[in-house]
Amino acid sequence: MAGQEISKDESLSRKGYRHACHIMIYADTDAKLFGKIPIKHIVLMQMRFDGLLGFPGGFVKPAEESLEAGLSRELWEEMGDGNVRVPLYCLKRGRGLSAFLSNSFISNARSQLIAALRVLGLLTQDELDAAVAKAEMMRKTTAH
């Protein structure tokens, strides 16, 4: 069912599905954009072959390998390809995180990113709400 979160065990017990693992790699930083805007955290995503943004990873084979081994194999194949740093700051006219969130993402990668930023405490709920609201406005004004 769309939008429903299930446990790892339940997902593995369901028949007839393929399984994919993706990872969000991030680190804290003291670096500043233009020497003045704190970057705070470096969060990596990827610009995929199909022009959509997503996390590094891919399909795994739980019958043949652990999820970690499958994810590791995918990372060896993919890392370095199309790495994109997620801007967590907000600049004038919505540039930064809002502009980033107004891009197109694969599957539920956009909501995974927003949830991860909240759960890991990299941004506050208020900061996320403001960025998401601005991104929605930007998407509407650029939609055809």
* Site residues, ligand L6YBMIIZ (CB under 6 A): 20, 22, 54-55, 57-59, 106-109, 112
Least Å distance, CB 60 to ligand L6YBMIIZ, is 8
For residue 133, what are the contacts with CB-CB under 8 A and spacing of at least 6?
Answer: none
Is the Cβ of residue 3 or residue 35 nearer to ligand L6YBMIIZ in the bound state?
3
Is the Cβ of residue 28 or residue 77 nearer to ligand L6YBMIIZ in the bound state?
77
Least Å distance, CB 22 to ligand L6YBMIIZ, is 4
Is the Cβ of residue 19 or residue 41 nearer to ligand L6YBMIIZ in the bound state?
19
Least Å distance, CB 32 to ligand L6YBMIIZ, is 28
Closest residue to ligand L6YBMIIZ, judged by C-beta, is: 58
How many CB atoms lie under 10 A from the CB of residue 110? Answer: 21
DSSP string, 23-92: --EEEE---EETTTEE--EEEEEEE-TTS-EE-SEEEE-TTTS-HHHHHHHHHHHHTTSSEEEPP-SB-G
Tokens of 141: 């004004």
Is the Cβ of residue 57 or residue 87 nearer to ligand L6YBMIIZ in the bound state?
57
Question: Which amino acid is residue 55, in one-letter code?
Answer: F
Least Å distance, CB 132 to ligand L6YBMIIZ, is 17
Side-chain half-sphere of 43: how many Cα atoms within 13 Å?
Answer: 24
45: left (phi over 0), alpha (psi -120 to 50) or beta: beta
Tokens of 30: 């003291």
Is the Cβ of residue 41 or residue 90 nearer to ligand L6YBMIIZ in the bound state?
41
